[in-house]
Amino acid sequence: MGYASIAEQKISDDDIREITILYQSGVSMRQLGRDFGVSHRSIGYRLRKNTIDKNNNIVPVNRVKRGSKVSGTGKFKWDEFEKHSEHEKAYWAGFITADGYVNKNTIRIEISNKDADHLEWWRQFNATIKNNKRRQSCSMSATHPDLVKWAQNWGIYQCKTGKEIFPAYKPDSLVLSWIRGVFDGDGWFSMPKPNNVLVGGICSASWDFLEGIQKFLYTYNIDSKLRSFYVADKLPHHKLMFYQRMSFRLSELVGGHPNLARKWDKVEEARKKSKAMSDSTIELIYKLRRKGMTHRGIATEIGYSYSAVKYRLAQGGVLSVTPA
């Protein structure tokens, strides 16, 4: 039986209606999975497949045809956009802050062509969507003066690079949805070698912007490090970094959009690795390392891979211990 049919069997239409409302209000897919007794992937599958209209009825999501060059070239439906959930719009405000821009009365987003499905949400408002084969990208453009005013209310202005604004004046619940959008646009997770410890981050040319996010997340017990990188003749490049446990907490708090689940898969991979060993095995690793045994020696002793041992030692802060 395929994965899709499993997802359909486990979640009823009534549950989908409730799940969609909760997700749009800012609840993460992982939390929804726990609440409804299914995997977060099943939640993501149904959110990609269906949505709810203004009458609370379940309707299929209209898919963007990747082969088409242009779709939706009429007048932007501002009235329909305005009816949507504030949390859903907050998410897109964050995504536009990261991966979009304003040009006069037009808002434009451009992303990799492999994520083209993510822009299909805008088709219902008659936004213009184009695929650029040469650049291997997909773009969305929507023109309406009220849409630009909405973006400006979220601190998105023309020529915003390096001048991004953290919306501290918005309610916390909406800011969480906004951060989800920012991370989906400019965030990343990786497990760099040799330690394979999960690292997450958000990139920006604005220090104050990232510092606003840092202070806000700190109120939710998510600590982070703010670092700067300088390249000649270019704007300073800043990164807000989240290490291991903080990345787990960030995932639990804001999650990610189901269309961009691949970005958050690193968190799941790291979570599985961190749970793969029993507490007694982890204690034994620390004990052997403090006695001076090498990483490979420990791996041979306990029957785990060299990289798994280094991963656990890095988590426990004893990676650099040397023999006495």
- Tens digit of pLDDT for each residue in 167-182? 999 999 999 999 999 9
Comparison of pLDDT for 94 and 197, the residue scoring more: 94
> Are 100 and 44 members of one domain?
no
Same domain, 52 and 21: yes
User: Quick one: average pLDDT of 280-302?
Assistant: 83
Quick: pLDDT tens for 202-224. 988 889 999 999 999 999 999 99
Q: Quick check: 78 pLDDT over 70?
A: yes
Same domain? 181 vs 217:
yes
113-163 tens-digit pLDDT: 888 888 888 988 989 888 887 778 888 999 999 999 999 999 888 777 777
- Whether 69 and 127 map to the same domain: the answer is yes
Instruction: Answer whether residue 192 shows pLDDT above 80.
Output: no
* Domain end residue (candidates: 125, 141, 160): 160
Within-domain flag for 321: no
Please state the pTM of the whole predicted model: 0.66
% of the chain beyond a pLDDT of 70: 78
Same domain, 50 and 72: no
Q: Examine the domain organization and report whether 118 and 206 are in the same domain.
A: no
| Residue at 280 is within a domain | yes
d(CA 323, CA 290) in angstroms, rounded, equals: 7
Enclosing domain of residue 165? 161-263
40 against 277, higher pLDDT: 40
Q: Please indicate, yes or no, whether residues 165 and 259 belong to a single structural domain of this protein.
A: yes
Contact at 8 Å (CB) between 141 and 107? yes
pLDDT of residue 64: 42
For residues 46 and 309, give the distance between their C-alpha atoms in angstroms, rounded to a whole number: 37
**Domain final residue, candidates 21, 40, 60:** 60
Domain check: are 237 and 305 in the same one? no
CATH number at residue 249: 3.10.28.10
| Pick from 36-40, 175-179, 271-275, 319-323: least confident | 319-323
268 part of a folded domain: no
Res. 30: pLDDT tops 70: yes
The pLDDT, as a whole number, for residue 194 is: 63
Q: Which of 263, 285, 300 is the last residue of a domain?
A: 263
**Are residues 35 and 46 located together in one domain of the fold?**
yes
Q: Are residues 214 and 155 in the same domain?
A: no
Q: How many domains does the chain have?
A: 4
In this structure, the answer to whether residues 86 and 154 fall within a common structural domain is yes
86 and 145 assigned to the same domain: yes
At residue 322, the pLDDT reads 46
